[in-house]
Amino acid sequence: MNGFANYETWNASLWIQNDRFLYNTAKACVTYCEAGDNPWAIFQRCMDNCARTMTGDDVAWTDPAIDAAEMNEMMAEL
């Protein structure tokens, strides 16, 4: 999947990088991440709080198949 661990990770990354709201939210999660937390966990909570629980392709942001380390790395590069 284009260098990602699996479809779910690739899909979540694709949506974050190509949707203005998701992109800006992800950048804010990196900027305001506090010690003991990580951007991907913050992003997942933000999506839950705003009732956007899935990507446009119906992959849940909390899907356990999504590789959190890859998502944190991708988000740090935004």
Confidence (pTM):
0.94
pLDDT, residue 16, reads 98
The domain ranges of the chain are 7-76
Percent of the chain with pLDDT over 90: 96
Residue 1 — very low, low, confident or very high, per pLDDT cuts 50/70/90?
A: confident
Q: Quick one: average pLDDT of 59-69?
A: 98
Q: Is the pLDDT of residue 5 over 90?
A: yes
Tokens describing residue 66: 């999504």
What are the pLDDT digits (tens) for 45-62?
Answer: 999 999 999 999 999 999
Give residues with Cβ within 8 angstroms of 22, minimum separation 6.
15, 16
